[in-house]
């Protein structure tokens, strides 16, 4: 089968999660992604715990189907190599603070002059302009700034650290992937590439469409534990069962709620699906007692038989052994020349005619230096000189 993005050439200058996940998504569906890494160190994520044998586990889960070229972009020879690559590329993705590529002399205007069809995607925390453009930040900071962080927690705890990097992935990786593919589509009509400015804060704000409605239209400040879908409503909540494990109850539609009330023999709750204040606390206490009377899996089976939206709160081991995830091939394996047989997360998008595929293991640092440079016309002696000068 033909891969959806076969023939697309991407130069990936990013480090850490947002860019890596974006380019792996594109690589999984056929794009040729070349990681440009700092000689001697490479992507910072290579050093993150847990280390499998030599590489970080998270690096191994974020960088399959990519090649690696080490390149010192501060050296004149390194800039020349990158310019040669950019002339043949479709996309450049970088995740530096605004201004870094300008200081290197490799910013969009320079690259577009060499390759007018180039799509250049810059992923940053706050965007390329504005009063915070140069500010340092990470996922938690973007969550806090946009009002998203207050959605997690309770009145007792206040905001808590979310367990997923929502701004990095939702505001960064996914927005960058959409931006790149949109710009490529536009190039098909115009013949020219363009600059794609991805701010993780902007992307995260767009994810607030449900909860921002409370503020923008209802005049209510949404906080964790104080609004129906973020911990207040008993019908949409998490409960501890008799065996100490937890269950998620996700009832929205009234017919599911009525069925649930019948199941637990509390028909009096039917008119009170969305209580607030003291009524919500009392109803939550009742459901806590009900679920606490039996083991989690007993409740899972009972609720499934009644066709009520509920699921176990799985540990990772349980999740990867879940029949649905197994059926959807969401845990796969590949062979790595150093790390051995390693697990990989499955493809999130299923295509009928051009499915994702694992073609390459995550690259060793600089693994493809010789082949990439030879493809650009560098001789073996020239490659050796670049290595001697620590350009690669």
pLDDT by position in tens, the chain (length 392):
789 999 999 999 999 999 999 999 999 999 999 999 999 999 999 999 999 999 999 999 999 999 999 999 999 999 999 999 999 999 999 999 999 999 999 999 999 999 999 999 999 999 999 999 999 999 999 999 999 999 999 999 999 999 999 999 999 999 999 999 999 999 999 999 999 999 999 999 999 999 999 999 999 999 999 999 999 999 999 999 999 999 999 999 999 999 999 999 999 999 999 999 999 999 999 999 999 999 999 999 999 999 999 999 999 999 999 999 999 999 999 999 999 999 999 999 999 999 999 999 999 999 999 999 999 999 999 999 999 999 99
**Contact predicate 63/26, CB 8 Å:** no
Cα atoms found within 13 Å of the Cα of residue 325, Cβ hemisphere only: 14
Task: Name 72's Cβ contacts closer than 8 Å, sequence gap at least 6.
Answer: 38, 39, 78, 390, 391, 392
**Residue 202, SS3?**
helix
Query: Tokens 């017919």 identify what position?
Result: 255
b/e map of 281-305 (b: 16 or more CB within 10 Å)? Answer: eebbeebeebbeeeebeebbeebee
SS3 content of the chain, % helix, strand, coil (to 5): 40, 15, 45
- Contact between 5 and 38 (Cβ < 8 Å): no
Fold of 9-207+329-389: Rossmann fold (3.40.50)
Q: Decide if 168 is catalytic.
A: yes
Residue 103, number of CB atoms within 10 A of its CB:
10
9-12 and 91-94 beta bridge pairing: parallel
What is residue 41's predicted lDDT score, i.e. its pLDDT?
Answer: 92
Query: What's the confidence (pLDDT) of residue 2?
Result: 83
pLDDT value, residue 197? 98
Could you tell me the two tokens for 298? 């007993």
Selecting among 139, 168, 202, 214, the annotated active-site residue is: 168
- E-only strand ranges, 234-278: 236-240, 246-250
Report the predicted TM-score, pTM, of the whole model to 2 decimal places.
0.96
The CATH number of the structural domain formed by 236-321 is: 3.30.1540.10
Domains of the chain, by residue range, sit at: 9-207+329-389, 236-321
CB-count burial class (<10 Å; 0-12, 13-18, 19+) for 320: middle
Cα torsion angle, 266, 269, 275, 277, sign: negative
């Amino acid at each position: 089968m033909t891969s959806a993005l076969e023939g697309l050439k991407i130069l990936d200058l990013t480090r850490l999660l947002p860019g890596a996940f974006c380019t792996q998504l594109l690589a999984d569906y056929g794009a040729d992604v070349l990681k440009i890494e700092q000689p001697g160190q490479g992507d910072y994520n290579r050093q993150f715990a847990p280390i499998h044998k030599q590489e970080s586990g998270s690096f191994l889960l974020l960088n399959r189907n990519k090649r690696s070229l080490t390149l010192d972009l501060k050296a004149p020879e390194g800039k020349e190599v990158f310019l040669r690559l950019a002339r043949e590329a479709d996309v450049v993705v970088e995740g530096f603070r605004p201004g870094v590529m300008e200081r290197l002399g490799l910013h969009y205007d320079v690259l577009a002059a060499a390759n007018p069809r180039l799509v250049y995607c810059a992923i940053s925390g706050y965007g390329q302009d504005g009063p915070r453009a140069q500010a340092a930040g990470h996922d938690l900071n973007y969550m806090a700034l946009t009002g998203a962080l207050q959605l997690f927690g309770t009145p007792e705890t206040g905001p808590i650290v979310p367990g997923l990097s929502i701004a990095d992935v939702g505001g960064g990786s996914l927005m960058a992937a959409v931006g790149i593919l949109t710009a490529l589509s536009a190039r098909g009509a115009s013949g020219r590439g363009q600059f794609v400015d991805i701010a993780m804060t902007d992307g995260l704000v767009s994810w607030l469409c449900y909860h921002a409605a409370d503020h923008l239209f209802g005049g209510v400040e949404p906080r964790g534990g104080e609004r129906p879908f973020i911990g207040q409503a008993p019908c949409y909540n998490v409960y501890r069962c008799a065996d100490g494990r937890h269950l998620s109850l996700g009832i929205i539609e009234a017919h599911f709620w009525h069925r649930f009330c019948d199941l637990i023999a509390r028909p009096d709750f039917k008119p009170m699906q969305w209580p607030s204040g003291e009524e919500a606390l009392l109803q939550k206490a009742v459901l806590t007692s009900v679920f606490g009377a039996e083991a989690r899996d007993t409740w899972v089976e009972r609720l499934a038989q009644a066709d009520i939206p509920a699921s176990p709160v799985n540990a990772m081991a349980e999740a990867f052994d879940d029949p649905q995830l197994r059926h959807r091939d969401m845990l796969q394996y590949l062979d790595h020349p150093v790390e051995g047989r390693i697990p990989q997360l499955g493809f999130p998008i299923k295509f009928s005619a051009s499915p994702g595929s694992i073609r390459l293991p995550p690259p060793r640092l600089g693994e493809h230096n010789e082949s990439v440079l030879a493809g650009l016309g560098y001789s073996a002696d020239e490659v050796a000189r670049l290595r001697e000068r620590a350009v690669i």
